[in-house]
Amino acid sequence: MATVAGIARHPRSKAPMETLERAHVTLEGGIVGDFRGAMKGKPYRRQITLMERADWDAAMVEVGHAIPWEQRRANLLVDGLDLPQTPGVRLRIGADVVLEVTRETDPCERMEALAEGLRAALTPDWRGGACTMVITGGVIAVGDTIRIEE
């Protein structure tokens, strides 16, 4: 069963990431209090970013480090799910929240500042994660189930 393994947000550009046990998700702001989710533009296609735990772990092995997942600056760490690599696929998190995959999350130069070779380690096969936009808001929590909507 796929689950939310972690939730993180940052209030402004380059601010440290804050990990949470629960978060409110809105159509207008993504994860409430997160800088990226509240960006302007319609539709904004990078409200919430998701990353697979297995992909982060593989990248850490590749670069020989043990950096906390939130340093990737993704909003949600997912466990037990191969994230869909197709824009338009919808994911239901918990009872209410629905996110739509919009594109791959491209690893940025900040990853090289964390560990040499990390940007390259996150590049293949959408290893850096998926960007999504909010379709239906609600509350999410660590441990919530995630499923692909048919």
Domain assignments of the chain as residue spans, ordered by start: 3-148
For the question of whether the overall pTM of this predicted structure is more than 0.85, the answer is yes
Write down the pLDDT at residue 25: 97
Helix (H) or strand (E) holding 111: helix 110-114
If you average pLDDT over residues 83-87, what whole number do you get? 95
Write down the pLDDT at residue 22: 98
Write down the pLDDT at residue 111: 85
Summarised one tens digit per residue, pLDDT across range 107-138 is: 877 888 888 988 899 998 999 999 999 999 99
Write down the pLDDT at residue 7: 98
- In this predicted structure, the answer to whether residue 29 has a pLDDT above a threshold of 70 is yes
Q: Count Cβ atoms below 10 Å from residue 141 Cβ, excluding itself.
A: 13
Please report the DSSP string for 52-68 in residue order. EHHHHHHHHHHHT----
Write down the pLDDT at residue 128: 93
If you average pLDDT over residues 76-87, what whole number do you get? 96
Amino acid at 105: T
Residue 120, both tokens: 């390259």
Protein fold of 3-148: M1 Pyruvate Kinase; Domain 3 (2.40.33)
List the single range of 34-38, 50-54, 95-99 with lowest mean pLDDT: 34-38
53 against 28, higher pLDDT: 53
